[in-house]
Amino acid sequence: MDDFLFSDEPTDVTETEQSGSWKVIIVDDEPEVHAVTKLALSDFEFQKKKLEFLSAYSGEEAKKVVLEHPDAAIVLLDVVMETDDAGLKVAQYIRETAKNNNIRIILRTGQPGQAPERQVIVNYDINDYKSKTELTAQKLFTVVMSSLRSYRDILSIDQSRQGLEKIITASRDIFATHSIEQFIEGVMQQLTSLLGTVDEAMYATSLVASNEPDSSGEDLIVFTGRGEFEKCEGKPIEDVLNDEQYLACKKALNEKTIVYKDNYLFSYCSSEYNHASMLFVSGIPEFLTDTQKHLIEIFSQNVQLAYENVQLQAEIEDTQQELVYRLSEALEMRSTDSGNHVKRVAHICHALAVGYGLSNREADLVRIASPLHDVGKVGIPDAILNKPAKLDEDEWQVMQTHAKKGYQLLRDSRREIVNAGALIARDHHEKWDGTGYPKGAKGEEIHIFGRIVALADVYDALRHRRCYKEAWDLPEVVEEINNQSGMHFDPKLVAVFNDIIDDLEAILARFPDKL
């Protein structure tokens, strides 16, 4: 029998360089218990990690240590310390106050009769209950090993849950600019859960598709990463890997396979589009089962498919935007107005929408749909559209019909962008005080998209030459728009306009009229 508890020769354990450790909190009011526990577990190792011991000599001290080290794996907890139930209060504190449900609590007592085992297990969320007299070195080794396995599995489940949450969020918010990064991070967390332990991960991809079998990988760019690679986005892959890792990466890329090294792997990611892409994971277990290797392969391909699916979605949205721009610019060419008006208005609308407090999706929607604001002019004769002089009453009545024509042309679409364009076409000539057209709507009866485009359209038109006028200077434009606050324009939008005027002027400079 290994009666180690009676040893009175505490030994300091020499720290060795390692990639990590399991934290074990020893809570006992007897220093000898701390010493012999450390001695008995001095050569303990699990998944190539040793134990890191943290000591507390009272219940109150234990509570502080638990709060300072929420990543501790095990607490070896004495029941009787400053009070007969001090250890039980610590166990209750860990679960109910500190909200730490991961740490494994092993209760140790020298007076088991004072806290009956069945009562303790029923009333407190503890994971094991041992009498000090029965806890030999071998039994302590066994209980610590089983507790660490439980702790590892709990972390794995938690990582899986977090990964699933991120994947669900990314699926729901697929149009958000950050969704692809969030999706890939979620998949990496799932891979971490699968392997039990992963220190670092990184996903790199090329900017273009490549079918070259001898591609060197020099065009691979880090897309997202965890651990050491978390801040490496946008860097060439050869700049973030050491020589040995880079050779393994090139081998995986050239052979289109998975390359396993001592504690890391490179997995080539292929798909229908054959982008050159690579998944790097380090800190993997030394021995992987065939099932784990198969799942790694599946995960690798899912990462690439997810990347390209979202890229395809972005391509579709960019294509829609370009078509809207080109059709709108074609309408602009019917008049003497030169191009880029619709692009300027689109970006001005986005800036105003963000400043007004609309969501990112709504701001993007008004940006994409705003070029359709004058689509109804397709039904206006050239003689009226390009008349350099002031329109007479009859001509003005014809010109006003373009708002209704645009709405009728675009309404009742199944596409969100087209429906937004219909509302904008209908409302962008309405005025806050109700004196606009086509319906004389006023205040918040006017759709917010229409109010935004109204201000953006007038601001851009005043700042540029038209067939019937010269461009106005900025102070004149600002004065005019402020004079129209509460009359033509939504006062809140005018306040936003004043706050971001420098940003709006920068947009005009980015998209000058074409000569």
> What is the DSSP code (8-state) at residue 78?
E
- Of 42, 35, 34, 40, the C-alpha closest to 13 is 42
Q: Which tokens belong to 51?
A: 């134990």
CB 9 within 8 A of CB 45: no
* Bridge-based pairing state of the strands 21-27 and 74-78: parallel
Task: Find the distance separating the first CA and the last CA of the chain, reported in whole Å.
Answer: 96
Laid out side by side, the sheet with 21-27 consists of: 45-46, 49-56, 21-27, 74-78, 104-109, 128-131
Q: Catalytic amino acids?
A: 377
Cα 176 from chain centre:
9
Rg of the chain's alpha carbons, rounded to an integer? Answer: 34
Percent of residues in the chain assigned helix, strand, coil, to nearest 5: 55, 15, 35
Cα 268 from chain centre:
24
Would you list the DSSP string of 141-154?
HHHHHHHHHHHHHH
d(CA 152, CA 282): 17
- What residues pair up with 275 in beta bridges, in sequence order? 209
